[in-house]
Every structure is written in structure tokens, then in C-alpha cells.
Amino acid sequence: MAETIDINQNLKYNIPMLKLKNYSVNEVLENIDVEFEKGKKYIVMGSNGVGKSTLIHSIMGRPDLEVTGELTLDTIDLLEMPVDQRAKAGLFVAFQTPTAIPGLSNFQLMKQALDLKGSELGKKLAEYKDNATALKLPEGWDKRNVNYDASGGEKKKSELIHLKMLDNKVAMLDEPDSGLDVDGIKSLIDTLNDWHNEDNTLIVVTHYEKLIEGINPDAVLVLKRDNVIVGDKTLADTIFSKGFDSV
């Protein structure tokens, strides 16, 4: 079994950004205890069907999920807050399969999310276009409908623009590598590392070794139905070589 570590031992300020205690979701996850620290990068792994996406969606407040226990962001109790308020509090999710929204353009989505008015519109539109160009999205991407008639890789890159432009404290990405080619993976790694700093928290669900190497996480979490195993990057190496039954 891989050696677990105390991820808090080198923290100057031991302040949990996102804390789950006795956290249960439907009949998928039971009594999970885990803390995600400010300024840290996390990889979340787990066998198929264990509840990785369910965990992220429940933290974001998906209304069809029944949650019990405690969920706090800094000192804010999130459990009674709807999705939009959780987003305004600083939570962000990039989905494994982003939903298409016909009739709403990519920049209109940003305009509404950021409540843009007046002179800020032109500035943020230019920023959006610059981000789209940097990610090698098609010309006129700002006018395209959200995730409509888009490839899997384009959808994932579009969510990276959201990550860069919104004011996020905790970013949770669910298998962001799916659908991306080699260049897309490099852009993903660069974007996540550029976004992350000592004031925010990055949580990435992935089993892609190259992405884990590129992010160089502070901790790797292996999600079980009623437990979370915490270790450093060698925990991921153990899983790649021996499988989830080894931990």
C-alpha cells in the first residue's frame, strides 16, 4: 500500500478552503471527510462508478442530488445555497460532458456571468477573443452558441476561458483531458498552472498520467465509497502500476 502523507505539514496557514465532513450523497458516497486547502493543487482518482463526478456535482449544488453532512467554503455554509450562489461564492466546475445551449452565444454567457455593462463590455470582449485565439479556437468563437456543434476538445477549451475570466476560489474540473489532442493537453496544463496561485484551490479529476505530471499536484486523493485515501504523487504511480485494489 502506498504511504499516505500529511498534506498540511508544510502549510504556513492551515486554513481549509473547502471542507467536507460526514458528507454523504444519495447512496453513492457515505460519510466522506476531506479538506481542500487554499493554495494547493489536488488530483482526484477512483475506480469507475465510485462517485467522482457525483462528488463534484454535489459540491456545486446539483439539485437532484440528496446531500447530508457538512460542506463549507472558508466559513460559509454551502449546503442551503443554490447553484448560482455557490458560483458567486467562488466555486467553479468544468464538466466531463459540457451541455450545449442553443440560442446563447459564448460571449453572451460571459456577459451574463460577469454582469458586464458599459465600457467593460468592449474590454472583456477583447479579453475573450484573446483567450480564444491563444487556445486555437475557431475565429468568431465569441459568436458561436455555447457548446453547440462543437467538438469535445473545443468544449473543454471553451470552459478554460470561463476559468480564466471568472473570479474563482475553487476550480473543480471533471476529466478535462477528454477530447483534447496533444497540443490541447499542453494548453490545458499551461492554463491550469497559470491560473493557480496561493489564494485559490485546484481540484482535477483525471486518470491521465501526462496531465498529472504536468500539474504536479500537492496531493493525490483516491475516492472510495466511504473513505478518501490521501497521498502524494507516488500514490498515483502505485495505481498506474498496480491498480486501485492496491490502495
Distance separating alpha carbons of residues 39 and 105, to the nearest angstrom: 33
Average pLDDT estimate for 227-239:
95
Query: Residue 14: its pLDDT value, please?
Result: 47
Mean of per-residue pLDDT scores for the chain: 92
Q: Are 33 and 23 in contact (CB under 8 A)?
A: yes
Average pLDDT estimate for 114-138:
94
Listed residue (211, 168, 226) closest to 50, CA to CA: 226
Distance separating alpha carbons of residues 146 and 144, to the nearest angstrom: 6
Query: Residue 75: its pLDDT value, please?
Result: 87
Query: Residue 167: its pLDDT value, please?
Result: 86
117: Cβ–Cβ under 8 A, 6 or more apart, which residues? none
Q: Which residue has the cell 483567450?
A: 131
Average pLDDT estimate for 103-131:
95
| Residue 6 predicted with pLDDT over 70 | no
Distance separating alpha carbons of residues 16 and 38, to the nearest angstrom: 6
Phi, psi torsion values for 21, nearest 5 degrees: -135, 130
Q: Which CATH number fits domain 16-100+166-246: 3.40.50.2300, 3.40.50.300, 3.40.1190.20, 3.30.420.250?
A: 3.40.50.300
Average pLDDT estimate for 146-169:
94
174: Cβ–Cβ under 8 A, 6 or more apart, which residues? 52, 53, 56, 93, 94, 95, 96, 205
CB neighbours (10 Å) of residue 203? Answer: 24
142: Cβ–Cβ under 8 A, 6 or more apart, which residues? 105, 106, 107, 125, 128, 129, 132
Listed residue (23, 172, 156) closest to 91, CA to CA: 172
| Residue 8 predicted with pLDDT over 90 | no
Average pLDDT estimate for 171-191:
94
| Residue 179 predicted with pLDDT over 80 | yes
| Residue 7 predicted with pLDDT over 70 | no
Query: Residue 221: its pLDDT value, please?
Result: 97
DSSP letter for 26, please. Answer: T
At 155, is the pLDDT very low, low, confident or very high (cuts 50, 70, 90)?
very high
Biggest distance spanned by C-alpha atoms of the chain: 58
Q: Are 208 and 32 in contact (CB under 8 A)?
A: no
Average pLDDT estimate for 216-237:
95
Query: Residue 15: its pLDDT value, please?
Result: 59
Domain borders along the chain are 16-100+166-246, 103-149
> b vs e for 37-46, b when ≥16 Cβ sit within 10 Å of the residue's Cβ?
bbbbbbbbbb
